[in-house]
Amino acid sequence: MRKSFDLFFVSSNNHKYQEAKSILDSFGIDLGFLKSNLEEIQSDSLRDIAVVKAQDAFSKFKRPIVIEDGGLFINSLDGFPGPYSSYVFKTIGNKGILNLLKKSRGAKFVSVITFCDDATLQSFEGKSSGKISEIQKGKGWGYDPIFIPDNVTKTFAELNNKNKLSHRYKALKEFSKWYLHK
């Protein structure tokens, strides 16, 4: 394992790592990847889930780490699936979400990035408001083929510049400002 990374992204999701690496590279932060299934508590709070995951990751690897937890919050479904987005995606997928929606399609993506090392535990949040498309469009992963950000006509999956607009970008940008000046 290379030892020159600034910190490590811990997740079982390589897609999240690839996005985080691309974004953090643009801020001059060299991000490594440690694949691991982390403890994920059941909670209505993304921040609480992210903090427990970060503490679990640090206890396993004893290196400066960053994790991400996120969710899709659909207005007409009172924020569902929210912090349960991964489970809902695995069980009903994008087609199930599309079938649940009738008229109001407003939604937001929220990402919480949590950093942990032997002295610090710090979280950063990013949000992207938008709406759920009528049909799946594009070949992205997760909910990207059904989420259209505000002021854009394409889904995240169809965009070439998703990493400059996304909730994950916004959270990682805030993290980067803090990390580079700590």
Q: Where are the domains of the chain?
A: 7-180
Paired strand residues for 67: 114
Q: Is 7-180 CATH 2.60.120.200?
A: no
Residue type for position 148: I
* Pair 128, 87: CB distance under 8 Å: no
Q: What percent of the chain has pLDDT over 70?
A: 98
* Alpha carbon distance 107, 27 (integer Å): 28
What count of residues does the chain have? 182
Cα distance between residue 121 and residue 119, in whole Å: 7
Q: What is the pLDDT of residue 3?
A: 60
Q: Catalytic residue positions?
A: 69
Q: Amino acid identity of 120? A: T
Peptide bond before 81: cis, by omega within 30 degrees of 0?
A: yes
107-130 pLDDT tens trace: 999 999 999 999 999 999 999 999
| Residue pLDDT tens, the chain, 182 long | 456 899 999 999 999 999 999 999 999 999 999 999 999 899 999 999 999 999 999 999 999 999 999 999 999 999 999 999 999 999 999 999 999 998 889 999 999 999 999 999 999 999 999 999 999 999 888 999 999 999 999 999 999 999 999 999 999 999 999 999 98
Reported as a single tens digit per residue, the pLDDT across 124-151 is 999 999 999 999 999 888 999 999 999 9
Q: Can you give the pLDDT at residue 103?
A: 81
Q: Is the pTM of this model over 0.75?
A: yes
